[in-house]
Amino acid sequence: MTQVFILTGPESCGKTTLATALAGYWSAPLVEEQARSYLLEKGRDNPDFHYQEEDLLRIAERQLEAENHALEQHPARLICDTDLLVLMVWSEVKYGKCEPWIQKQFEHSLRHGQRHYILCDWQIPWQEDELREHPDLHRKELFQRYKQKMNDYGIIYTAVGGSTMQRFRQVYALVAREERAQ
C-alpha cells in the first residue's frame, strides 16, 4: 500500500519546498499543486483573468486526477504538494462555503490508503509570488483553521516548523518511528 504524504497549510508556509525535498530524498513521485499551473495557464491565455468560485472545482478535479494517476503507478511513497483540503479551506475563506463535490471527494480520499498529513507552520518569512493573494491575511489564523479542519475530520497529522532542514528531519523522524513500530 502506498504511503501518501500530504503537505498542507496556509500560503507561503514552505509546502512546495518540503514536498520537493521529501520526493527527492525518497525518489518518490511528487504530485504538484494544480492551482498554480491552472492559474498560470489561465493568466497566459487572458491577462485580465481573475479566478471565480467555479475555477476551484476545475482545480480540484485536476488535483484529484494528478493524485489518482500517480497512485495508479503503485509507488511505495507518494508526496502531494497539497490536496483537496487546501481547496476546501481556501474556498471557505474566499467564498464562505465549499463546493459539495470537493468536500465529498476529500472525505472519500480519507477512507482509502495510508495518508500522512504534514501541517507546515506559518512562522517563516512571507515570500512574494504573483499568485499569492493575502500577505496581510494572518497566516497564524489560517494555520489554526487547518488544524481545526483536520481535528474535525479526525485526521492524525504532524505539525512541522523551523527551517526547511528542521522540517525535513521532523518528517523523517515520524517515518522512522512508524517503521520501527511495524
Q: Is the pLDDT of residue 84 over 90?
A: yes
What was the pLDDT predicted at 83? 96
Number of domains in the chain: 1
Domain of 20: which CATH number? 3.40.50.300
What was the pLDDT predicted at 39? 83
Q: Is the pLDDT of residue 104 over 50?
A: yes
Give pLDDT tens digits for 148-161. 999 999 999 999 99
The burial class, CB within 10 Å (0-12 / 13-18 / 19+), for 87 is: buried
Stated pTM of the model:
0.89
What was the pLDDT predicted at 19? 95
Confidence of residue 132 (pLDDT cuts 50, 70, 90): very low
Here the cell at position 2 is 502506498
Q: Is the pLDDT of residue 103 over 90?
A: yes
d(CA 9, CA 14): 9
Q: Which domain holds residue 91?
A: 3-181
What sign has the CA pseudo-torsion 123, 129, 132, 135? Answer: positive
